[in-house]
Structure 1
Amino acid sequence: MTLDLEKQAAQVEESTASSTSDKEGVIVARETATPSAPHVPVPSKLRALNNRIENLAGLEARGITRVLPEERHGISPMRYAQMAIIWYSANISANNLAVGLLGPLLFNLGFVDSAMMAVWGCLLGSAVTAYMSTWGAQSGNRTMIVVRYFMGYWPAKLTTVLNMILMVGYAVISTIISGQILSAVSDGSMSIVVGIVITALISWLVAVFGMSIFHTYERYAWIPQTIVLLILCGVAGKNFNTGSVSIIPDGAPSAAITADRLSFFSLQLSVPLSWAGAGSDFYVYYPESTSKRLTFLMTLTGLWISFIFVNLIGIGLGAGTFTNTKWNDAYGISSGALILEGFAPLHGFGKFCGVVVALGVISNNVPGTYAAALNCQVLGRFGKMVPRWLWVCVIVLIYFVCAIAGRDHLFAIFQNFLALMGYWLVILVTIVVEETLIFRRSRGFDWTKWEDQKYLPVGAAALLSFLIGWAGAIIGMYQVWYVGPVAQQAGDGYGADIGIWLALGFTLVVFPPLRFLELKTIGR
């Protein structure tokens, strides 16, 4: 589908879909502008350049416009398998492996304690994302468009901005770790900056072409990643120190171990949960007949297996630093250097494996970049004026600059950013589940009215519930820069991050009565 900039600027909040055929005979969706739509003139040379780019073979020109049923592809067992493959491929990456390091190195947990928190935390977080992914095929809408049906047209912009920050933040972490590994492979002769440039450029190249290239890339990218990670297990596994035990810090109460378990469990839950704001984006070309149950199961399978695979390796490497001096010295340089040190017995081939691991983060960057670019268009009609491919360029540039600036502060980024991911998403998902089960059981959704503000809920109840849930997160969060009063009391005063659970509880309680009131007074 080719939409020039001027026509995109004329799209309005309430429109009717008509059909036309492009030059290839593919049925595409068009929106009919009304006289109230603003006219934003676009220079003819710029319009011509955009049309030329969008006509490149394989480039997805579609933005956030709903994918109509007749535009979608058929369903088959292989396409269900592809659901699991793309999530597995996207998440067996070095950035997720590095999260596992934090169990032993930040939370003082032994191997078994860390592994248990990772396995069950990732299961719960993956299940939430799998649930949110089921909306893509049935609606034909991107995740943050679907959110409008629960949060309202204007409040949904808040969650859209938060999701953009999340996707960009995670890409920053991925790009830094890739740069660290590539620098370590060269024995420091290549700076981290060069590694960051390489990773960002390849991520941009894949993401800018869109869905077709993305699915193709993810379909095969997992193969070399899985092979080299299995090699890492075989080479470094004997030093994983699986017998390590959890440690109570000096002067801390005995409940400190329980508090650290809870904090690490919340962190492990938050990482797969971070995809919940983008899960539907990758299924909009699936037909409406796609099984919700199979969508859930295949998405859950791909996410859970990938996360526990890399987390267990990361936990092993982290625990091994306590008994392996070389590993400890490598970690003193960077997380990437520690990962590469695991391959050290293989010498030159080990460095090759390190390069494969480093470039594996591209599989993680691409879907996040793709989703963030679409989020830019969700923010409003002027966001839609800018083509998706151009937003991809902007997003990549942003996280490239941030990665360069933060390359020497990765551990601080981990501490200050990762745990924050789950707070707002668990609030959003709670609202989605309660709205669906309590208020939408009999009336369902009209997915064609994705921009009709008169149909979408006002969102007052959802916004107020979101803010109240966030208040719960604030009093329960335990971060380097802030400790909530309730969080401070956990673990007999040792402190634990319970923000995600208080956010869930507050939202669960306040949303139903507020929504009942909204429906009674406003009617939608």
Structure 2
Amino acid sequence: MSDEEKQTVLSDSLDVDLEAKLDKEETALGVEIRGLERVLPEDRKHTTMLDNLTMWLSADFSIAPLANGAIGLTVFGLSLTEAITVVVITNFVVLSVVSYFATFGPRLGLRQFVVSRFSFGWYPNKVMGILSSITSLGWSCVNVISAGLLLTSASNDKLPAWASILILAVLTSVIGIFGYKWVHRYQRFAWFPLLISFCILLGLAAPDITNVPDKNPDYPSRIGNILSYTATVISMVGWCTAACDFNVNMPENSNMFLVYIYTLIGTFVPTVFLMITGLLVVTTAQATDAYAAALGVGGNTPALMQTIYTTKLGGFGTFLTIIVALSVVQVNIANDYSLGLSLQVGGPAFFQRIPRWMWTLLGSAAYILVACFGANSYVSTLSNFLPLVGYWVLIYVTIVFIEDVVFRKGKYDATAWNKPSKLPHGYAAGAAFCLGMVAAGLGMNQAWAQGPLSKAVGPYGADIGTELGAGVAGIVYVILRPLEAKYTGRFQH
């Protein structure tokens, strides 16, 4: 018996076990039992369409987008106009793709990295699952460091960064282990106090906001910085790796246009609002010495936020600082939930027998350790990690999108989700991904590595790795996918 036949037999055995397990969806404590398993059409009872909106409003109303936006000025030295233009245009394109991926949930009842088995096949898709797990951990680190530094500032440095990180991670885990239903219940309301808090921040900063004009007369250098900042903003495409994980319980006959629109509003509005707020807030350092001292040479945006709050509002400002710091809970809930699913995809078959909530706890422990060590180099962690997310995720997204729109035209045999013999081998997707990553490497421009093609733009180079990687992967996949289908016959709908 071949390895693939053995895997199919094992999958059949798993299906029997899972069917028995899923007779009851939750434990007595309300912890979700379901992991990767497809939600059958008759089992989908989640009909609250607005949850597509509130889920993402809460996930994106956090300190992380604000801090990410700020580095357009603090790290890349753009003008305010240039940075805002990049934020609006790039996020609209990227989050439109995220919103399209959200429709996979109601259409197929499958999690995101199960959907990609229909393009990457069984084994290459495991690599995608592992990369997604690493990305989820990385995002959780970035988020919890941002919030942890803010909580530390609110305590006047009496609470060390590691303790702040630990507190926030524990709160996240407590909610995250319960799963789909409780995640939605929490996210329906979590965004509102954050909206109020960030609006107050913007109002407090408004009198000191100053314009940042074009200061760099070297046009090629400016273009290079714009492209590098764009690569950072593109990292928001990382939500594609979890976009449909949170609506798989919605009926097949759901209005897909509403799923798309609600997801787009829920991701685009808070992300753009907060990124622009971050850009505006850091300009106050030009007008106020106390704000400049808080921001520092390293660009500590969380410390600047805390200073603005407490300088203008005193004790109430400290309260708002804590509210904003707690925003990491709702964004990391989404990360931690999808982390468990990605690990189940990326690991061997027995990983699927380990409950998702256990993976959530293990993942939390892992990112707590990493975040505690990375807190002292926050800005470099932020500016170096985010483009790395964009490199591989955009390549992955390109391949899955082409498969869905060009080749399958939305038609899938969803019952084959766990049957390796009914899935493609993934030769075309694997080759396209590898060549796309090579192209991304040639175009990358990081502090620790610079690809030769990035040097073609400006004296300091430009990060064009995401665009090159996605372009090459798309071309290769369009060429190789029909060849794989012809010679293997494995692309059944």
Q: Taking structure 2 as the reference length, what is the TM-score of the superposition?
A: 0.93
> CA shift at 1:461, angstroms?
0.7
SS at match of 1:435: helix
Relative distance call for 1:16 and 1:345 in structure 2 (3 A) is closer
Which position in structure 1 is the counterpart of 2:444? 477
Q: Is the 8 A contact 2:90 2:230 kept in 1?
A: yes
Which position in structure 2 is the counterpart of 1:32? none
Deviations 1:270-305 (A, max 9, x none): 22x111011111011001111222211111111000
> CA shift at 1:11, angstroms?
8.3
Which position in structure 2 is the counterpart of 1:255? 220
| Larger deviation, residues 259-268 vs 117-126 | 259-268
> CA shift at 1:247, angstroms?
2.6
Q: Is the 8 A contact 2:80 2:213 kept in 1?
A: yes
Distance in 2 separating the partners of 1:120 and 1:385 = 43
In the TM superposition, 1:277-316 aligns within 5 A as 277-316=241-280
Which position in structure 1 is the counterpart of 2:195? 226
In the TM superposition, 1:115-264 aligns within 5 A as 115-241=84-210, 243-248=211-216, 253-264=218-229
Q: Is the 8 A contact 1:102 1:318 kept in 2?
A: no
Structure 1's consecutive aligned runs of 4 or more residues displaced over 3 angstroms after TM superposition are 14-23, 26-29
Distance in 1 separating the partners of 2:190 and 2:449 = 39
Which position in structure 2 is the counterpart of 1:412? 380
Are positions 1:429 and 2:397 aligned together?
yes
Which position in structure 2 is the counterpart of 1:112? 81
Give the residue type in structure 2 aligned to 1:268: V
| Larger deviation, residues 216-225 vs 330-339 | 330-339
Distance in 2 separating the partners of 1:122 and 1:453 = 36
Relative distance call for 1:188 and 1:10 in structure 2 (3 A) is farther
SS at match of 1:255: helix
Distance in 2 separating the partners of 1:17 and 1:160 = 20
> CA shift at 1:57, angstroms?
2.8
Are positions 1:439 and 2:403 aligned together?
no
Q: Is the 8 A contact 1:255 1:494 kept in 2?
A: no
Q: Is the 8 A contact 2:205 2:284 kept in 1?
A: no
Deviations 1:138-184 (A, max 9, x none): 11111001110111110001111111111110111111111111111
* Counterpart pick for 2:293 among 329, 337, 341: 329
| Larger deviation, residues 391-400 vs 420-429 | 420-429
SS at match of 1:463: helix
Give the residue type in structure 2 aligned to 1:455: K
* Counterpart pick for 1:69 among 34, 37, 41: 41
RMSD over aligned CA atoms reads 2.1
Q: Is the 8 A contact 1:14 1:453 kept in 2?
A: no
SS at match of 1:478: coil
* Counterpart pick for 1:392 among 360, 368, 382: 360
Give the residue type in structure 1 aligned to 2:201: L
> CA shift at 1:212, angstroms?
1.1
Distance in 2 separating the partners of 1:372 and 1:403 = 16
| Identical counterparts, % of pairs | 31
Are positions 1:268 and 2:233 aligned together?
yes
Distance in 2 separating the partners of 1:376 and 1:260 = 36
Q: Is the 8 A contact 1:476 1:497 kept in 2?
A: yes
Distance in 1 separating the partners of 2:444 and 2:8 = 44
Give the residue type in structure 1 aligned to 2:461: G
Which position in structure 1 is the counterpart of 2:67? 98
Distance in 1 separating the partners of 2:195 and 2:206 = 15
Distance in 2 separating the partners of 1:143 and 1:436 = 13
Q: Is the 8 A contact 2:63 2:146 kept in 1?
A: yes
> CA shift at 1:240, angstroms?
2.1
| Larger deviation, residues 432-441 vs 390-399 | 432-441
Q: Taking structure 1 as the reference length, what is the TM-score of the superposition?
A: 0.88
Relative distance call for 1:93 and 1:425 in structure 2 (3 A) is same
Give the residue type in structure 2 aligned to 1:386: I
Q: Is the 8 A contact 1:15 1:451 kept in 2?
A: no
Relative distance call for 1:292 and 1:134 in structure 2 (3 A) is same
Distance in 2 separating the partners of 1:441 and 1:349 = 54
> CA shift at 1:266, angstroms?
2.5
Relative distance call for 1:28 and 1:449 in structure 2 (3 A) is farther
Deviations 1:94-136 (A, max 9, x none): 1111001101111111222111111111111111111111111
SS at match of 1:281: coil
Relative to its length, the structure with more helix (as a share) is: 2
Distance in 2 separating the partners of 1:164 and 1:331 = 32
Distance in 2 separating the partners of 1:417 and 1:164 = 14
SS at match of 1:12: helix
Deviations 1:278-336 (A, max 9, x none): 11110110011112222111111110001011111100122222332211211228332
Are positions 1:520 and 2:489 aligned together?
no
Relative distance call for 1:215 and 1:263 in structure 2 (3 A) is same
Relative distance call for 1:155 and 1:20 in structure 2 (3 A) is closer
Are positions 1:382 and 2:350 aligned together?
yes
| Larger deviation, residues 312-321 vs 365-374 | 312-321
Give the residue type in structure 2 aligned to 1:68: L
How many residues are aligned here? 480
Are positions 1:340 and 2:309 aligned together?
no
Deviations 1:228-258 (A, max 9, x none): 11111111122221x211332xxx8322112
Give the residue type in structure 2 aligned to 1:427: I
Give the residue type in structure 1 aligned to 2:306: L
Distance in 2 separating the partners of 1:112 and 1:388 = 44
Which position in structure 2 is the counterpart of 1:448? 415
Q: Is the 8 A contact 2:154 2:306 kept in 1?
A: yes
Q: Is the 8 A contact 1:415 1:480 kept in 2?
A: no
> CA shift at 1:370, angstroms?
0.4
Give the residue type in structure 1 aligned to 2:40: L
Relative distance call for 1:386 and 1:16 in structure 2 (3 A) is closer
Relative distance call for 1:20 and 1:157 in structure 2 (3 A) is closer
Distance in 1 separating the partners of 2:73 and 2:60 = 21
SS at match of 2:10: coil
Q: Is the 8 A contact 1:100 1:318 kept in 2?
A: no
Are positions 1:494 and 2:470 aligned together?
no
> CA shift at 1:14, angstroms?
4.0
Which position in structure 2 is the counterpart of 1:89? 58
Q: Is the 8 A contact 2:232 2:383 kept in 1?
A: no
Distance in 2 separating the partners of 1:11 and 1:416 = 43
Distance in 2 separating the partners of 1:371 and 1:388 = 9
Distance in 2 separating the partners of 1:391 and 1:470 = 28
